[in-house]
Amino acid sequence: MGEQYKLVARETKPQGTKVRIGGVEVGGAEFIVMAGPCAVESDHQIRNTAERVRAAGARILRGGAFKPRTSPYSFQGLGEEGLKLLAAAGRATGLPVVTEVLTAEDVKLVAGYADALQVGARNMQNFALLKALGSAGRPIVLKRGLSSTIEELLMAAEYVCLHGNPHVILCERGIRTFETATRNTLDFNAVAVLKQFTHLPIIVDPSHGTGRRNLVGPVSKAAAAIGADGLIIEVHPEPETALSDGPQSLTPTEFSAIMRELAAHLALQGRPLAVGAGSCDVGGIDAHRERIDSIDEALVNLLCERVRIAIELGRLKRDMGYPIQSTERETVVVERAKRLSEGVFEPSAIGRLFRAIIEETRASEECHAVTTK
Ligand code: PEP
Ligand code: MN
């Protein structure tokens, strides 16, 4: 398989690639969420969406100006006017912008306005476009074709790299299968497989992957769990009036709720959700508080589970005639916590926290031992 693509193969760069869009790094330690409407429709619509998604923690603004529509009678996008509105909304909010380019001829025009260029699913094997993107001078978000294999996706990425542009992010956005309950079938295997086969970052598009707004939340969490580097999500201030992809677009409020849940899920994996740089407003404060609430919930759940396991352990120790307390073991636990939290916590601070947890866990254990005697 490695014969067909070389530059993008994992072996070429085992440590992985980080792709910079504006000042935002995709493929690094932080999980990056790109969000915005399917299509730029008006100045008000894109600015409003940009402000709301930024406040919720999105780091990159999306919005189509040239739309590849299945029907020629559907809204085709605002073209260059849409690019101008998108770039202005990006400047106003401090968010870099990503937008689709449909043809090789348009690459220069779109690159003049956008921080990253998206290749849509229907264009994944438009080889003239892929070659032109080699000299676009902008990073590329390359979406998997509706009926393309993972190997074909990698070969498409190889085209862009071979022609001079190594800054490629892959995007799993669902493929066509016999299933009709959802718009597409999101191939989670692809994310895990791509992580093994290539060093390029991989993001997931849960909006096109499902076609239904109430599936975007669970699928986003699954994408984070399986190791995606980020997400691209459609958000519209009034999805019911959207000129394209309304049924899969989230309201800004729904989007915030998903970001809040994602923060806790990612924290469990030790991966931070990127925090928006420019959230200096009330919405930003609320969003941060909501994330803290969500993390506290996860923290309490973990502490409860820790106590449950400790009680079981206590039972085993008693049955085997071991003492309940082991000071050596406690020291190992505390020292490990210090190592894991290096750079964030003062060692003495995490030490105090863990001593308290250990003590309270033991108290629960002992209390349980008494009540179950
Ligand atoms: C889009 O992102 O709006 C889009 C058209 O996506 P895809 O190419 O994945 O269908
Ligand atoms: Mn869309």
User: 276: closest CA among 18, 16, 17, 22?
Assistant: 22
Q: How far is the CA of 137 from the centre of ligand 2 (A)?
A: 25
Give the C-alpha separation, 351 to 357, whole Å: 10
Q: Which atom of ligand 1 is nearest to the CA of 120?
A: 8
Asked if the model's pLDDT at residue 281 lies above 70, the reply is no
Asked if the model's pLDDT at residue 359 lies above 50, the reply is yes
Q: What percent of the chain has pLDDT over 70?
A: 96
19, 167 contact by CB (below 8 A): yes
Near ion ligand 2, which residues have CB within 5 Å? 38, 245
Q: How far is the CA of 218 from the centre of ligand 2 (A)?
A: 19
Reported as a pLDDT band with limits 50, 70 and 90, residue 273 is: confident
Q: Residue 230: in which H helix or E strand, if any?
A: strand 230-234
Q: Which atom of ligand 1 is nearest to the CA of 171?
A: 9
pLDDT digits (tens, 9 = 90+) for 330-350: 999 999 999 999 999 999 999
pLDDT digits (tens, 9 = 90+) for 136-188: 999 999 999 999 999 999 999 999 999 999 999 999 999 999 999 999 999 99
Averaged pLDDT, 214-231: 98
Q: Which atom of ligand 1 is nearest to the CA of 122?
A: 8
Question: How high does pLDDT run on average in the chain?
Answer: 94
Averaged pLDDT, 217-230: 98
Asked if the model's pLDDT at residue 320 lies above 80, the reply is yes
Reported as a pLDDT band with limits 50, 70 and 90, residue 1 is: very low
Averaged pLDDT, 95-112: 98
> Rounded to 5, what percent of the chain is helix, strand, coil?
50, 15, 35
Give the C-alpha separation, 64 to 49, whole Å: 13
Residue of minimum CA distance from atom 6 in ligand 1? 120
Residue 32 has a pLDDT of: 98
User: Using a 6 Å cutoff on CB, does residue 64 contact ligand 1?
Assistant: yes
Q: How far is the CA of 39 from the centre of ligand 1 (A)?
A: 10
Residue of minimum CA distance from atom 10 in ligand 1? 121
pLDDT digits (tens, 9 = 90+) for 53-95: 999 999 999 999 999 999 999 999 999 999 999 999 999 999 9
User: Using a 6 Å cutoff on CB, does residue 211 contact ligand 1?
Assistant: no
User: Using a 6 Å cutoff on CB, does residue 53 contact ligand 1?
Assistant: no
281 — phi, psi (to 5°)?
A: -155, 175
57, 259 contact by CB (below 8 A): yes
- Beta-carbon neighbour count of residue 362 at 10 Å? 16
pLDDT digits (tens, 9 = 90+) for 17-57: 999 999 999 999 999 999 999 999 999 999 999 999 999 99
Reported as a pLDDT band with limits 50, 70 and 90, residue 306 is: very high
Q: How far is the CA of 348 from the centre of ligand 2 (A)?
A: 50
Residue of minimum CA distance from atom 4 in ligand 1? 120
Measured between alpha carbons, how far apart are the two ends of the chain, in Å? 62
Residue of minimum CA distance from atom 3 in ligand 1? 38
